[in-house]
Amino acid sequence: MQINPNITPTLLSDMHQSQAVLNTALQQVATGLSVSVPSDNPTASAAMVQNTIDTGNVDQYKRNVGTVLSTVQSASSVLSNVATALTQAVSLGTEGANGTNSTANMKAIIAQVQGVLSSVVSQANTAVSGTFLFGGSGTTAPYAPDPASPTGYSYTGNSNVTSVAVGDHVNVQVGLPGNQIFSNSSNSVIGALSSLVTALQTGNSSAIATATTAVSASIGLVGQQQAFYGNAENQLNSQETSLQQDTVTLASQATSLVGVDLATAATNLTHAETNNSAAMAAVAKILPNTLLNYLAPPA
């Protein structure tokens, strides 16, 4: 049996190795990761690059959903208010058409309908976070006073239906232009209200009744547009749920690629500390004797 007369290099090597294992265990416990640099696991590191990209995309889609969901809900609320105002206008028109109103009453009715018209135009110009809900993709208030227009207002937005990306190859339409809702060529909300004001000012019961019927019809148009926003909200809520699941899936994938089980990592750390302490103790015991032998004078 051959005995190595100089075991110092072996002890030092063991000590360095145990220290490296300890450092790795400490890092894993501290970070919760098994991979700190690509060389630790090139395959897992490459997969994590794609995981990081996918996670970033999902996070952006979630932000998009949150932003436009608020916009869609605001638009739906506006249309609900408009429908209520139009219902009031129908009631006023019906009252104005009965032919029994005094001059003072008619003036009051006219003023109220004019107020409804102004309110509806104001609602049509609603902006959320600087973006006009019903201007298409325009950047200015969609309706402006226009004395040359029969209705007294002109549409200055565009006809674009706005949409937003909420997933890979998934876009949801989230905004209708005002000229499709408030100044539709076949059923204009603003036009019907303006006609009712004019009819009331003439005092012609037949004309008032006709204009009131047009306003009533415009309520149905607004209801149809509300359905659009309701569908958009449902789509966004559904996509939000899907994106939340994607987030969970990607997080689980990341853990499986570069994560560590903390309980196992803690156990490994305890073993590494024990082994390192033993190696240090061995070196501390043997190395001084080795040095003394080296320094001792020859016999």
pLDDT digits (tens, 9 = 90+) for 139-198: 899 999 999 999 999 999 999 999 999 999 999 999 999 999 999 888 899 999 999 999
* Per-residue model confidence (pLDDT) at position 10: 62
* Per-residue model confidence (pLDDT) at position 292: 45
Question: Could you give the angle at which helices 189-202 and 205-258 cross, rounded to 10 degrees?
Answer: 160
What is the distance between the alpha carbons of residues 144 and 141, in angstroms, rounded to a whole number?
7
Residue 101 belongs to domain with CATH number: 1.20.1330.10
| pLDDT > 70? residue 258 | no
Q: Which two tokens stand for residue 269?
A: 């750390």
| pLDDT > 70? residue 281 | no
> pLDDT for 68-93, tens place per residue?
999 999 999 999 999 999 999 999 99
What is the distance between the alpha carbons of residues 292 and 160, in angstroms, rounded to a whole number?
90
Is 226 within the bounds of a domain? yes
Across the range 133-140, mean pLDDT stands at: 92
> pLDDT for 88-130, tens place per residue?
999 999 999 988 889 999 999 999 999 999 999 999 999 998 8
* Most confident of the ranges 2-16, 37-51, 52-66, 243-257: 52-66
* Per-residue model confidence (pLDDT) at position 182: 94
Is 103 within the bounds of a domain? yes
* Per-residue model confidence (pLDDT) at position 138: 87
CB atoms closer than 10 angstroms to residue 245: 11
Domain of residue 134: give its range. Answer: 60-253
Across the range 284-289, mean pLDDT stands at: 60
What is the distance between the alpha carbons of residues 179 and 236, in angstroms, rounded to a whole number?
24
Is 207 within the bounds of a domain? yes
Locate the DSSP E strands across the chain.
Answer: 127-128, 131-132, 143-145, 153-155, 162-167, 170-175
For the chain, the domain total comes to 1
Is 90 within the bounds of a domain? yes
* Per-residue model confidence (pLDDT) at position 287: 59
Q: In Å, how far are 90, 93, 97, 120, 145 from 215, measured between CA atoms?
A: 6, 9, 14, 12, 20
H helices of 97-177, in order, are: 103-124
The residues pairing with 175 across neighbouring beta strands, listed in sequence order, are: 162
3-class secondary structure, 165: strand
Is 266 within the bounds of a domain? no
Is 152 within the bounds of a domain? yes
What is the distance between the alpha carbons of residues 233 and 214, in angstroms, rounded to a whole number?
29
Is 43 within the bounds of a domain? no
Is 25 within the bounds of a domain? no
* Per-residue model confidence (pLDDT) at position 41: 76
pLDDT band at 213 (very low <50, low <70, confident <90, very high): very high
